Structure 1
């Protein structure tokens, strides 16, 4: 029967038995030597649902709380257990073991910050009297002049929001980076995202980062909201650490 592959860990990591994976199938593992591959069975004609994507991610996060796991991209399937054993353990074991050693004792935590639009607009207006004057000018402008004035105001506000977004983002990185062994920055998306920061953190320092994030969330309110995700496998750091030959997530 085909199997869906979640990731690779070592045999010291106990796979959680209270979770189900893709298509709500039980999780199980395939061992070889000191390596353990986390899998679940799938039907040949199994359709991919959004809940399957979530199950894949949540399974890996659950294992990451227990030990080091190298995550595979969603959709990696192999025809049977013997193929998994041959492709990942026998053929690629020498590649996988150094990666597991490199990330031993480390986990990824993600901090994402988004400006709250109305609060950000209030802030840029508070900081810049010229913007307030331009806004008031638009409100008083004659109908034939209003469009060009609105364009100038929109451009000025967009520039001010971009500067505020960069300022908040830089401040977030400065606050959380000292706790991390390594930092990777995601590309900000949309007009309001200020930062997406991936942090590779020693397990025994997670509580330190937790406390920093709690304080940071309070300090950012009400200007911005903060999402804190993890523990996770080292998604953002695998490409830099590996040869890229395997389909790491």
Structure 2
């Protein structure tokens, strides 16, 4: 309760859960304040008081936001809200935010029940790929020979040409090697979402929604690909996470 006459603190929203959700025992929110549930029928919003909005500009706040959501998702379905979702202190969260879409929220949570998200990032080992390109492309071998023992200024053109060949080769190999891997992963996933890659050595980045009763098979598939491609690819699996990529449209 705020003091009489004093304005209520703004409140920070993390996500939507079922009304009987179990709150995490880890970090207490973006500002160290205790997490609470604001309920409306079968659903609830996970909130904290936000005394100092400037805290939202810090990396620690973003990390705590993610930790809260990931810990919530470890125990029950959650609809994550974007980092920085704040409502004025006098907002009726139950009546104005939750109630109008309570049935939609409940249905979306039901769709996510029993699932968790992982993010898979696959990249080429640049040194290994360069060795492959040198063995298969005489021009690359020649360029490497010219560059050896020279400064960047002396062989700038050769270095640019070498980089172009390596990048185009990785892009070509990505186009043929990524699809079979991703297609196999889809067979053990409830849902997948492909993300755009940013670097030449990136093979693929994929968000994967996995049923918890299929986690063992999912892990086995990833481990199998990582072992089979350990000479030239790196597989990085992040999770379990809140289902950031699979919140149904509402």
- Please indicate, yes or no, whether the TM-score normalized by the shorter chain is above 0.5: yes
2:238 and 2:17 map into 1 onto residues whose CA distance is: 21
1:29 aligns with 2:37: yes
1:59 aligns with 2:59: no
- 1:11-64: per-residue Cα shift (whole Å, max 9, x none)? 242112343210222222112221121111211444221111011111111111
Instruction: Tell me by how many angstroms 1:129 deviates.
Output: 4.2
1:194 aligns with 2:203: yes
Instruction: Tell me by how many angstroms 1:168 deviates.
Output: 4.0
Gaps of 5+ in 1: 244-249
1:45 and 1:156 map into 2 onto residues whose CA distance is: 49
1:157 and 1:192 map into 2 onto residues whose CA distance is: 9
**TM-score, normalised on structure 2?**
0.83
Taking the TM superposition and a 5 Å limit, the aligned residue runs for 1:215-230 are 215-230=224-239
1:148 and 1:231 map into 2 onto residues whose CA distance is: 46
- 1:52-88: per-residue Cα shift (whole Å, max 9, x none)? 1011111111111111100000111112385221233
1:24 and 1:224 map into 2 onto residues whose CA distance is: 40
* Aligned residues of 1:124 and 1:164 also touching (Cα < 8 A): no
Question: Over the residues paired in the alignment, what is the CA RMSD in angstroms?
Answer: 2.6
Instruction: Report the equivalent of 1:93.
Output: 102
Instruction: Report the equivalent of 2:17.
Output: 9
Alpha carbons of structure 1 residues 77 and 126: separation in structure 2 relative to 1, 3 Å: same
**TM-score, normalised on structure 1?**
0.84
Alpha carbons of structure 1 residues 232 and 147: separation in structure 2 relative to 1, 3 Å: closer
* Aligned residues of 1:30 and 1:81 also touching (Cα < 8 A): no
SS of the aligned residue for 2:198 comes to: coil
1:87 and 1:228 map into 2 onto residues whose CA distance is: 38
User: Runs of at least 4 residues of structure 1 off by over 4 A?
Assistant: 137-140, 145-151
Instruction: Report the equivalent of 1:50.
Output: 59
Q: How many residues align?
A: 238
1:104 and 1:69 map into 2 onto residues whose CA distance is: 9
Instruction: Tell me by how many angstroms 1:90 deviates.
Output: 1.4
Gaps of 5+ in 2: 1-8
1:109 and 1:6 map into 2 onto residues whose CA distance is: 19
Taking the TM superposition and a 5 Å limit, the aligned residue runs for 1:1-249 are 1-48=9-56, 49-80=58-89, 83-136=92-145, 148-238=157-247, 241-243=248-250
Point out the more displaced range, 149-158 or 170-179: 149-158
Point out the more displaced range, 165-174 or 113-122: 165-174
Instruction: Tell me by how many angstroms 1:155 deviates.
Output: 2.4
